């Protein structure tokens, strides 16, 4: 898409945000006078009805007008309070990913095109859609199995959504480039990298084979976990544009009265939910990153069933250790250790003072120790921590911000189920076990094993490395004895390159060539 097209789309987005009163409703704190004046001027063009609405309602209306891809963009930015601010992230988190249904005929055509078989061959029955979101909609269906007919859920990608998102992301990139150019202070937040993450995340979400793979992976990880599971995938009826999975009969976690009426223990469900999330995060390094109550069901046996695995997060060993040591350091009031972990992981630049950073960490930790355990929020703790790290030039870590946002959501669901939910008591069995296994003597054994594996791999690759080194050495000797020679194709390419480039470009090209000759001469 052309840059001109991106500017046009950006202009359209800005105009809709102005008309729906979103711009005039933005916080005015710390804005330069010129920006504040522009915001006030924009308020003159807002619709009359918008002026009486809450900011979140104005935003919802604007996103609805902008289209489905902007719902997804808004939901993604809701997970990045470090980028858009805490208040705006809260507004974005209230966006309802609920769109109008698209025709059943289009859904059937998409399924048949993706799987190469007719609907009648694939399903014994195929019903009207029951839910529609920005990326896809869901249909109830039935399939014949050796044990009888079974009900399934069929998720189908919305027609044209990929092309629409490809165009809309161009405007996002334009904003990111402008932000980095004209707002140097925002470079720490890496807006271009954030946009790349959004693009990659959404592309993954629009390939339903990858969602199926995520469901399969987390099913294997949680096979023996108490009280938690995900739907099974019907791989025979799954492709890029469609995923068929087990139909879940249960009560949504957002329906507290329904859960209570069904006889479920709400306090036990709250504990199981947070413990499951921490197992996935610390033990597996792979977690469901969209665990709002609408994506969580409780079946008749009391098992929590998580659906919609389009957005997932991953943490490496270093990030998991980072998270556990932070939590453990706050619990034990070892603020120096919490600070050291940040420096060891490279999250805070080394030119800062560890003791000063530990002092800032203490400012977060000490107030927490004076509160009742049931009022302490782990999500709030991490939010405060990320705010402090801004003072010490800590670059944005997308995987940690996604973890923090998901933890806030999961913790919030647990407190809905149990208003006196004790986060630390519920977390201790999982966090404590992980710390004992990974931060104590067992950690040394694990590190030794990892080191031995790396050494074995290096030893296996040694002959190939030696052969390549010898070949490179022979090439350098040949160059030193016979001069640097190019084959006909290379010489022709250099000629074309010289014709294209200006004088400075030609100088740079020959500097590279002379440098190679010099290296060859030095080696010999």
Mean pLDDT score across all residues of the chain: 79
The highest-confidence range among 195-209, 228-242, 469-483, by mean pLDDT, is: 228-242
pLDDT in tens, 355-390: 998 898 888 878 776 666 566 666 667 667 666 766
* pLDDT-based confidence at residue 504 (cuts at 50, 70, 90): very low
* The two structure tokens encoding residue 258: 């329904």
pLDDT at 448: 64
Structure letter (DSSP) for residue 132: E
Q: Which residues form the catalytic set? A: 290
pLDDT in tens, 393-438: 776 666 666 777 788 788 888 888 998 888 777 887 888 788 778 7
Structure letter (DSSP) for residue 501: S
272 Cα distance to chain centroid: 23
Decide which of 193 and 357 is more confident: 357
519: pLDDT strictly greater than 60: no
* pLDDT-based confidence at residue 170 (cuts at 50, 70, 90): confident
Q: Could you tell me the CA-to-CA distances from 192 to 69, 179, 198, 357 in Å, in that order?
A: 18, 9, 10, 28
| pTM listed for this prediction | 0.70
520: pLDDT strictly greater than 50: no
- Region label for 396, one of left (φ > 0), alpha (ψ between -120 and 50) or beta (otherwise): beta
Alpha helices in 375-502 (DSSP H): 378-390, 398-417, 423-438, 441-482, 488-500
* pLDDT-based confidence at residue 524 (cuts at 50, 70, 90): very low
Mean pLDDT of 80-105: 72
pLDDT at 373: 59
Decide which of 408 and 486 is more confident: 408
For 289, list phi and psi in degrees, rounded to 5: -100, 15
* The two structure tokens encoding residue 295: 């994506």
pLDDT at 389: 66
Complete edge-to-edge strand list for the sheet that includes strand 304-306: 228-229, 304-306, 296-298, 251-252
Sign of CA dihedral 138, 144, 147, 148: positive
* pLDDT-based confidence at residue 454 (cuts at 50, 70, 90): low
Structure letter (DSSP) for residue 264: -
71: pLDDT strictly greater than 90: no
pLDDT in tens, 229-255: 999 999 999 999 999 999 999 999 989
The highest-confidence range among 123-127, 172-176, 196-200, by mean pLDDT, is: 123-127
- CB of 205 closer than 8 Å to CB of 68: no
Residue partners of 71: CB distance under 8 A and separation at least 6: 63, 64, 95, 97, 99, 133, 134
- CB of 304 closer than 8 Å to CB of 297: yes
- CB of 253 closer than 8 Å to CB of 322: no
486: pLDDT strictly greater than 80: no
pLDDT in tens, 108-165: 999 999 999 999 999 999 999 998 888 899 999 999 988 889 999 999 999 988 888 8
Helix (H, G, I), strand (E, B) or coil at 13: helix
Of all residues in the chain, the percent with pLDDT exceeding 90 is: 26
Going by C-alpha positions, the residue among 301, 317, 269, 278 that lies closest to residue 433 is: 278
272/154 Cα distance (integer angstroms) = 28
């Amino acid at each position: 898409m052309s840059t001109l097209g991106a500017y046009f789309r950006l202009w359209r987005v800005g105009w809709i945000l102005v008309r729906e009163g979103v711009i005039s409703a933005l916080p005015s704190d710390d804005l330069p006078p010129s920006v504040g004046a522009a915001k006030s001027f924009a308020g003159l063009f807002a619709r009359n009805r918008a002026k009486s609405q809450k900011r979140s309602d104005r935003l919802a209306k604007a996103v609805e007008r902008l289209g489905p891809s902007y719902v997804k963009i808004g939901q993604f930015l809701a997970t990045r309070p470090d980028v858009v601010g805490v208040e705006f992230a809260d507004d974005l988190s209230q966006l309802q990913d609920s769109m109008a249904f698209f025709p059943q005929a289009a859904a059937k055509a998409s399924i048949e095109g993706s799987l190469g078989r007719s609907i009648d061959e694939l399903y014994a029955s195929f019903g009207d859609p029951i839910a529609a979101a920005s990326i896809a909609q869901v249909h109830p269906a039935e399939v014949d199995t050796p044990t009888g007919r079974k009900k399934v859920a069929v998720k189908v990608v919305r027609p044209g959504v990929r092309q629409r998102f490809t165009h809309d992301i161009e405007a996002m990139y334009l904003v990111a480039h402008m932000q980095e150019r004209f707002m140097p202070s925002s470079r720490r937040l890496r807006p271009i990298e954030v946009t790349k993450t959004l693009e990659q995340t959404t592309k993954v979400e629009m390939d339903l084979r990858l969602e199926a793979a995520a469901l399969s992976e987390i099913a294997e990880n949680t096979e023996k976990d108490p009280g938690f599971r995900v739907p099974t995938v019907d791989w025979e009826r799954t492709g890029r544009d469609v995923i068929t999975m087990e139909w879940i009969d249960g009560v949504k976690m957002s329906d507290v009265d329904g859960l209570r009426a069904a006889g479920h223990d709400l306090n036990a469900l709250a504990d199981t939910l947070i413990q499951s999330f921490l197992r996935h995060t610390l033990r597996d390094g792979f977690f469901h990153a969209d665990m709002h109550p609408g994506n969580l069901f409780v079946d008749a046996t009391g098992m929590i069933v998580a659906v919609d695995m389009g957005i997932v997060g991953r943490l490496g060993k270093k990030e998991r250790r980072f998270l556990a040591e932070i939590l453990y350091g706050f619990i034990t009031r070892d603020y120096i250790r919490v600070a050291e972990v940040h420096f060891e992981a490279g999250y805070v630049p080394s030119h800062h003072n560890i003791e000063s950073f530990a002092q800032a960490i203490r400012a977060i930790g000490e107030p927490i120790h004076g509160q009742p355990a049931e009022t302490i929020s782990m999500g709030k703790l991490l939010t405060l921590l990320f705010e402090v790290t801004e003072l010490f030039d800590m670059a944005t870590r997308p995987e940690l911000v996604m973890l923090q946002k998901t933890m806030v959501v999961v913790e919030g669901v647990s407190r809905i189920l149990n208003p006196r939910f004790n986060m630390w008591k519920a977390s201790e069995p999982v966090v404590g076990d992980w710390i004992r296994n990974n931060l104590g003597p067992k950690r040394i054994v694990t590190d030794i094993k990892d080191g031995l594996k790396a050494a074995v791999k290096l030893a296996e690759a040694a002959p190939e490395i030696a052969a390549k080194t010898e070949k490179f050495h022979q090439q350098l000797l040949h160059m030193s004895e016979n001069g640097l020679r190019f084959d006909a194709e290379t010489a022709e390419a250099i000629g074309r390159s010289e014709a294209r480039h200006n004088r400075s470009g030609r100088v740079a090209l020959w500097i590279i060539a002379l440098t190679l000759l010099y290296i060859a001469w030095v080696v010999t």
